[in-house]
Chains A and B, each alone.
Chain A
């Protein structure tokens, strides 16, 4: 018989936990849900747009009642649980309904804090928490004119804005002299106040409410200074308070909230708690992103996986008042020893402040231009070293050159038919519609449903902006730790560490050891794991062909019509007349439809049928060619210019050096493709400064540049160092390449890797530490000793022949 799981509280945190449980193990539990409200689970964050008249209740329902039925969940609506009987393991509702549990989730949420002042129980005094409150406000707005909102926090201002849009005369009362003091510093607070005042909102700052006046219905409000203001509606938005009385009555340990451990377990091990009713490591949360993180961990333990851990959340906020751009995250008020970077443009109404400690972003406040909010938030969460782009960080991500943004055009102002994802032809309207219709919350979900950002990924920043502007920034938080794929909760870094520290040397052991949720991974994790195993244990791990994508399996690039292209390696771009004759002969013999000189100084033969490949490779082998690896995550080409051998400007022998580097590095598998160039002088004809590793010869030696990329988003290299001999160039090249192989995530180009970990770290390992550099270079040589095998020759000799010969029906 299945165990019984009961959920108290039919809200976002609880239902999200159920969704995660169903994802992990749909057969595990008989599930029963109790909710006080008559609806299915709805998106509480969207109450502000409902109040503002921009959406209806139906628009914000996340789980229709049909969803509960489809998943075999018993749903009790309009029933409040009044007792948890821990001895008999059952819960009792106000109408007498009982349900037994083996595991219980408490997700009772929070209530608005109602000031304990005279008149707080009058009609026309409401909180701002559920559909009921919103209905009451909307009704009041139809009949009455004046409204007072107590509390100028996030919720208070959203309520005030909504009431203003309903045509009411709104006054906001606040105890302190800064608006949203939990999210804003005084400068940004003042800017926000000015712009809300311009819309007609009135403010009474530093006013303490003493009493609400009236008989039956509220008619006025009196302050501690004796002043009174007439009103027809009072919205209390001074804070929320976790709903803990049910848990408390049952004897479950509570402080401000229900106290839970990192596994979301209460002091009763059969009882879990998630959401706003919870107190974790001393903190309570009122935003959605942390609740979702909690839900995931809670489900992990409910399904007895036992390794998920919630370690608290860093949160960001954004005001959902249309036309006002405001963002804040982290510790935005500086303390001793912090530095602040500030940009202020009063005429444009723009203010940005970053709080920096040890070259890491600790907090951010932005007003007027919040385009880069999610970027700063990412830098904050990942504790990225910003020293290399500190001088331009305030100008935003596009000034740094990372992928993502196109100039300053704000997504909110973009027309619905504007194309966002150039790869898949997805317009803004398609994305907004999918987010609204399908209730999408995360970037990954949007990618899966619309394909926007799912190919090259350069528009991810824009897609995220649309997500934020459509649903509010509570959702913009990508998890602080990115899981490798749907098969695991572990991140790339954790998996890499486990492979090395745990001496995991084959995939089956790895799946077992790390509790993979699928029997043999997926098309996303298998190639990554195969690479990590291969690069960690080059002499021991046996490469798994079935974990390589087709291009690397058949050593050619699959083209859209299913044919392949063939590129012979020409070291440094050099070739002889005999080489060209041999290629021409092969082209004739196999009827190659088209040939092209590539950007990497090679010759590409297009349109070759798979069955022809081995024979063609054999002919090219016989003429002295090996595979050009034009399909591989590994060294592609070393591009060279004429250099001092021929060029009147050349300072060093760039051709010769390029050929040497290519002989040194070919055949190595890497996280992603890798390109090298050697230019003979600073005129840089080989374009070395947009390569992964670029050498620019100068009169006194060689400049070494790293992390360039000429692709989706052009990134110019960073200067690694200058050296004086070819031997040093080779040593630094080997060391840098090896550090990239060991440190970067699979499918991360050097450009993205350097932006993530910072140039400082690269220099520490490759330049400053001589012993470390030599050790890296030695490890690269060891790996090369087993990697430099020409795949063409192996296959021409008959290896993997099943790849190239279709089955045929005899007769």
Chain B
């Protein structure tokens, strides 16, 4: 998978919401913020593995549904006072379609 692949229409993701993307190797959470930006990070909280795609999206942040850790969607960094980070994946929106970038180099 070295090319950008279409994964969904933008409208398939609710505003201030997310969708889970299952791949062979890893689950990815695709987020759409209130200002219509789209981000993709690994669907696993660095704390105890909670599914981030089930969390609440506010600003460019998602709050984990299990223990309320807050993760910055842009940087993948956990917000203070908690510490940690999550893998990010390249993602872009063109003409209402969401594309996921090549995974190899980012998928740890």
**Which residue numbers of A lie inside 8 Å of B, CB to CB?**
448-449, 518-523, 526-527, 545-547, 549-550, 553-554, 558, 560, 562, 802, 806-809
**Interface flag for B87 (CB, 8 Å):** no
CA–CA, A526 and B16, complex, Å: 11
Sort A-B residue pairs by CB-CB distance and give the 5 closest, nearest first. Answer: A523-B63, A806-B20, A523-B56, A546-B16, A807-B21
Shortest Cβ gap from A244 to chain B (Å): 39
B7 on the interface (CB 8 Å rule)?
Answer: yes
- Contact in complex: B20, A546 (CB < 8 Å): no
Q: Give the complex CA separation of A553 and B17 in angstroms.
A: 11
Q: Let me know if B75 is at the binding interface, CB within 8 A.
A: no
B55 x A523 contact (CB < 8 A):
yes
Q: Is the CB of B54 within 8 A of A808?
A: no
Provide the residues of chain A in CB contact with B19, threshold 8 Å: 802, 806-807
Asked if residues B17 and A808 are in contact (CB atoms below 8 Å), the reply is no
B13: chain A residues within 8 A (beta carbon): 802
Q: For window 12-53 of chain B, which residues contact chain A by CB distance below 8 Å?
A: 12-17, 19-23, 27, 30, 34-35, 48-51
Contact partners of A550 in chain B: CB under 8 A = 54-56, 65
B22 touches A808 (CB 8 A): yes
Q: How many A-B residue pairs have CB under 8 A?
A: 78
Residue from the list A522, A523, A558, A808 in contact with B21, Cβ < 8 A: A808
B66 is an interface residue with CB less than 8 A from chain A:
yes
Q: Which residue of A is nearest B56, CB measured?
A: A523
A806/B21 in contact, CB under 8 A: yes
Sample 8 A-B pairs with CB under 8 A, ordered by A number: A520-B16, A523-B63, A526-B58, A546-B56, A547-B56, A806-B27, A807-B21, A807-B30
- Whether A558 contacts B65 in the complex (CB less than 8 A), given A807-B22, A808-B21, comes out as yes
Q: Is the CB of A560 within 8 A of B21?
A: no
The secondary structure that dominates the A interface is mixed
Chain B interface size range: 35 or more
Q: Which residue of B lies closest to A448 (CB)?
A: B81
Q: Hey, which chain B residues are within 8 Å of A560, CB to CB? A: 48, 66
Residues of B within 8 A of A526 (CB): 56, 58
- Is residue B5 contacting chain A, with contact meaning CB distance below 8 A? yes
Cα distance A448–B68 when bound, in Å? 11
Instruction: Tell me whether B63 and A522 are in contact (CB under 8 A).
Output: yes
Are B54 and A519 in contact, CB atoms less than 8 angstroms apart? no
Residues of B near A521 (CB, < 8 A) are: 58
Q: Which of A518, A523, A808 contacts B68 (CB 8 A)?
A: A523
Contact with A along B54-72 (1 / 0, CB 8 A): 1111110101011010100
In the complex, what's the smallest C-beta–C-beta distance from A683 to chain B, in angstroms?
41
Contacting residue for A549 out of B49, B65, B100, CB 8 A = B65
| Chain A residues whose CB sits within 8 angstroms of the CB of B81 once the complex forms | 448-449
- Shortest C-beta distance, B25 to chain A (Å), equals 11
Is B7 a contact partner of A520 (Cβ separation < 8 A)? no
Other A-B pairs, 6, CB within 8 Å; known A562-B50, A809-B23 = A518-B59, A519-B34, A523-B56, A546-B15, A546-B57, A550-B65
Tell me the bound Cα distance from A562 to B27 in angstroms: 13
Chain A residues with CB under 8 Å of B50's CB are 562
Most chain B CB atoms below 10 A, which of A550, A558, A807: A807
Residue of A nearest to B32 (CB): A546
Residues B58-94 near A (CB distance < 8 A):
58-59, 61, 63, 65-66, 68, 70, 81
What residues on B are CB-neighbors of A518 within 8 Å?
58-59
Contacts known (A449-B81, A558-B54, A802-B14); A520 close to B59, Cβ less than 8 A: yes
* Cβ contacts under 8 Å, B58 to chain A: 518-523, 526
Please judge, given known A-B contacts A522-B63, A806-B20, A807-B22, whether A545 and B34 are in contact too, CB under 8 Å.
no
